[in-house]
Amino acid sequence: MRRRWLLVVVGWLATAALATLIGLGAIRLVGESLTGTPGGVRGEDEIARALASDPPPSPPSGAPATSSPSVAPVTSSPSASPSSGSSARRSFATGGGTAVAECTPGGVRLVSWAPAQGFRVRDVDRGPDDDVEVKFDGAGGEYELKLRCIGREPVAVEDD
């Protein structure tokens, strides 16, 4: 009789262990599609290394760019100004974010700015003034966008 109970307990433990192993294997196979993170969750250091290894996008030909290593290439696109038409409004993009500026009688003025994903605005001088700037800071580095008016059009310039 004791032998029968021993076989029942051993059989039950073996079945439980086998069921657990099968369940773990199934979760491993299906789990990635359930969680939506193929390859697992990435750590902050791994993300920073991946962002640092990607080369920055090159600006289109004719777009103003700076040569300072701490400043990203800047692309710009002109647009019509909603005001009297005496000044141009222009948008500028860096790896850290975008900004829109216009030239006014008082100088250049930042109309708007927005950081890219993973960045934050560290400092803003919105003007109007002789020059304005916005600094974006994030895991991918620091980007500074400095703008001035040449004629009646805002342009990106290198930091002094």
d(CA 116, CA 95): 7
Counting the structural domains of the chain, the total is 1
Q: What integer pLDDT is reported at residue 140 of this predicted model?
A: 87
Q: What is the Cα 155 distance to its own chain's centre?
A: 24
- 20 occurs within a structural domain: no
**43 lies in a domain?**
no
Q: Please, what is the average pLDDT of the chain? A: 78
Residues of the chain with pLDDT under 50: 57-72, 79-84
- List CB contacts of 132: < 8 A, sequence separation 6 or more: 101, 107, 108, 109, 110, 125, 126, 146, 147
Please list the residues that pair with 77 across neighbouring strands. 91
* Residue at 136 is within a domain: yes
Q: What's the pTM value of the predicted model, to 2 decimals?
A: 0.50
DSSP strands (E only) in 64-158: 75-79, 89-93, 97-104, 107-115, 119-125, 131-138, 141-150, 153-157
Domain of residue 104: give its range. 64-157
Residue 26 has what pLDDT? 78
pLDDT of residue 159: 72
Residue 71 domain flag: yes
Whether 53 is in a domain gets the answer: no
54 within a domain of the structure (yes/no): no
